[in-house]
Amino acid sequence: MTDPAQFQLDAHGRLRHLLTTEGMPADILTEILDTAASFLPASKEPPRKVPLLRGSTVANLFFEPSTRTRTTFEVAAKRLSADVIDMQLEHSSKNKGEDDVDTLYTLQAMGVDLFVIRHPENGAAAHFARHVAPDVAVLNAGDGSNAHPTQALLDALTIRRHRPDFHNLSVAIVGDVRHSRVAQSNIHALKTLGVPDIRVVAPEGLMLEDPSKLGVTPVFTLAEGIRDVDVVMGLRIQRERMHHERVPSVEEYHRQFGLTRHTLGGLKPEAIIMHPGPINRGVEIDAETAYGPQSVILEQVRNGIAIRMAVMAIIAGNVKKAAGDQTQA
C-alpha cells in the first residue's frame, strides 16, 4: 500500500489530499500556516467571504461525532464561497447497508470536489483518497488514533501566534497520548517545524508505546513534564479507543495529571495552555484552567476556521494546476 505521506502529494510535490502531517515537507506546513494567517480577521473586523471555492462543492462525511471540526470545516467552506453538503450519516442509506465507499461514489456523482472525512478506523481517509476521481480531493478530519492533521495545523498556528520561534520551544503534551491522533499529528508537525523539546506526559498505561521512535521525551509526572515549558497541551482520555490498558481511576488521574491551578503551580506565567476539545471537566482539566488567563482553547477553535480555509484553498488550487499540467502534456 502506498505511503499516505507520499500519496497526499502530486507528482510535483504539491498537496493533493490532506491525510497526515507525518512526512509533510516543512515548506508545505509553512505555506498552510501563512495562508491561514492571511485569512484571520483582524480583531473587531467581521469575517471576510472570499470567492476562492465559488462553484465548488464540499461534502462533510463524519462517521464519528464532532462539534469543532465539522462545524469549522462548514464555516470555512462557506467563507470560501463553496456549496456545502453536511451529510447526516445517521439518517443516510448507510443504515440500509450501503458501503462507505459507495456513499462516496454517490456523492462524487453529484459533483463533490472536496470530501472532508472523519472515521473511527485508522487509515480510512487514505482508503477513500484512493477511490476518488483524479480531480477530487480528500481531507482527513480524524481517522481512528492515526491522524488529525487540521487539528495539528491549527495548534501550530495558535502556538506560532504566541511563540513565533519554533526552534526555541518546549511543549508538553499531557494525557492520553497513546490513543490520541491529535498527539500523533502534533508531534509530526512540530518536529518538522523545528521544535527541539517535545515531552509526552502520561501515566504508564496511557504513554506512547515507543516515544523514542517519534523523537519525544516520555515523562511520568506532571510537575516534571511542565517544568520550564512554553506550551502545555492537554488531551482527552479516549475511552472509546481503549482495550485493556491499566489506567488510573478518574479521581486519581485528575489528581495526578488533571490541569488545574494546583497541579500547574510550577508553570511559567507566560506559558499557554491548549486543549483540542472536547474537554472533560474534572478529568483532564477543570473549567477554571480551561477558561483562565493562560488558556488559548477558544482561540484554537477560531484558528481552526482559518486553517481549514487555507487547506481547502491550497488543495483546490493544486488540483486546478494539476489539470492544467495534464492539458499541456
Q: Which is nearer to ligand CP, 69 or 260 (CB)?
A: 69
Which residue's CB is nearer to ligand CP, number 143 or number 286? 143
- Decide whether 140 or 318 has the Cβ nearer to ligand CP: 140
Instruction: Tell me which residues touch ligand CP (CB under 6 A).
Output: 66-70, 142, 151, 276-278
| Minimum distance of ligand CP from residue 95's CB (angstroms) | 22
Q: Which is nearer to ligand CP, 151 or 260 (CB)?
A: 151
Indicate the residue among 186 and 263 with the shorter CB distance to ligand CP: 186
How many angstroms separate the CA atoms of 291 and 300, rounded?
12
CB of 245 to ligand CP, least distance (A): 21
Residue in 247, 230, 246, 241 with CA at minimum distance from that of residue 284: 247
Cα 214 from Cα 227, distance rounded (Å): 21
Query: Residue 68 Cβ, how far from ligand CP at the closest point, in Å?
Result: 4
Output the 3-class SS for the chain.
CCCHHHHCECCCCCECCECCCCCCCHHHHHHHHHHHHHHCCCCCCCCCCCCCCCCCEEEEEECCCCCHHHHHHHHHHHHCCCEEEECCHHHCHHHHCCCHHHHHHHHHHCCCCEEEEEECCCCHHHHHHCCCCCCCEEEEEEECCCECHHHHHHHHHHHHHHCCCHHHCEEEEECCHHHCHHHHHHHHHHHHCCCCEEEEECCHHHCCCCHHHHCCEEECCHHHHCCCCCEEEECCCCHHHCCCCCCCCHHHHHHHHCECCCCCCCCCCCCEEECCCCCCECCCECHHHHCCCCECHHHHHHHHHHHHHHHHHHHHHHHHHHHHHHHHC
The minimum distance between CB 154 and ligand CP, in angstroms, equals: 9
> Residue 89 CB, nearest distance to ligand CP (Å)?
15
CB of residue 212 to ligand CP, shortest distance in Å? 27
With respect to ligand CP, which residue has the nearer C-beta, 108 or 303? 303
* Contacting residues for 328 by C-beta, under 8 A, at least 6 apart: none
Minimum distance from residue 10 beta carbon to ligand CP (Å): 27
Shortest Å distance, C-beta 287 to ligand CP: 17
Q: Judged by CB, which is closer to ligand CP: 9, or 310?
A: 310
Give the residue with the Cβ less far from ligand CP, 203 or 304: 304
